[in-house]
Amino acid sequence: MRPTSSWPPTAVVFDLGGVLIDWDPRYLYRTLFADTASMEGFLAEVTTQEWNAAQDAGRPWAEAVEVLAARFPDQRPLIEAYRSRWAETLGGPIDGTVEVLSELRERDVRLLALSNWSAETFPVARDRYPFLAWFEGIVISGEVGVAKPDPRIFEALIERYDVEPSRTVFVDDSEANVVAAEELGFVGVRFADPRKLSADLERLGLLDRRAGDAGPS
């Protein structure tokens, strides 16, 4: 977390997955595999993080499934499930962070979101989590065609919503994404848990907790 040249910050940009929304393909694949070892092997060797990241950067899901099924034809039904049953990879909201978001909203802090997410699957999340409507704007990597930590997606956010980085806090659970934001002048906050986030935002002057208020858990 670096100090701003203009103080205090007036806006906060949130990552979504892992910060406000619990997402994990294991939620789906635990229902499709008889044992954990087989599931973990499939996720590590077939539907890898790199494969999924290409969809976050704009690759169509139909293409992604066909490319992978051609390499692993015996795994086609399991690969297809990643897309056809994608909604089952979503968990609940991360309640403590939603509480922080609500407090910022009550204080009229400008709220934006910047997330690596497929343009095809994000509407499922938008319908499921009402707090997404609290954001002034949300930039989705799959819609832009480039994903964090590429500076171009931050530049898209800046241009689209007239963001002043030096007065904007960027919250993400990825160190690489936080570093990329800081290099563009944002105030970076690495997310670990809601309690730490609350404390970080209080130090930045965005929250003002009363003595004895422990904040979100």
Give the model's pLDDT for residue 217: 54
Give the model's pLDDT for residue 208: 84
Give the model's pLDDT for residue 8: 84
Q: Which residues 6+ apart lie within 8 Å of 85 measured at CB? A: 28
Locus of tokens 């009550």: 106
Distance CA 187, CA 133 (A): 24
Q: Where are the alpha helices (DSSP H) in 88-193?
A: 95-106, 122-128, 141-144, 151-161, 175-183
Average of per-residue pLDDT across 38-61: 98
pLDDT digits (tens, 9 = 90+) for 157-206: 999 999 999 999 999 999 999 999 999 999 999 999 999 999 999 999 99
Please, are residues 132 and 107 in contact by the beta-carbon 8 Å criterion? no
- Alpha-carbon 154 to chain mean position: 14
Three-state SS string across 19-41, please?
Answer: CCEEECCHHHHCCCCCCHHHHHH
Angle at 185 between CA 181 and CA 191, to 5 degrees: 40
Q: Which sign, positive or negative, has the C-alpha torsion 134, 135, 141, 142?
A: positive
Give the model's pLDDT for residue 209: 64
pLDDT digits (tens, 9 = 90+) for 8-27: 899 999 999 999 999 999 99
pLDDT digits (tens, 9 = 90+) for 66-111: 999 999 999 999 999 999 999 999 999 999 999 999 999 999 999 9
Q: pLDDT at residue 6 above 80?
A: no
Determine whether 19 is exposed, middle or buried from the number of CB atoms within 10 Å of its CB (0-12, 13-18, 19+).
buried
Q: Name the band, by pLDDT with cuts 50, 70 and 90, for residue 34.
A: very high
Distance CA 158, CA 95 (A): 28
Please, are residues 113 and 163 in contact by the beta-carbon 8 Å criterion? no
Q: Which residues 6+ apart lie within 8 Å of 28 measured at CB? A: 81, 82, 85, 86, 88, 89
Give the model's pLDDT for residue 213: 52
The rounded mean pLDDT for the chain is 94
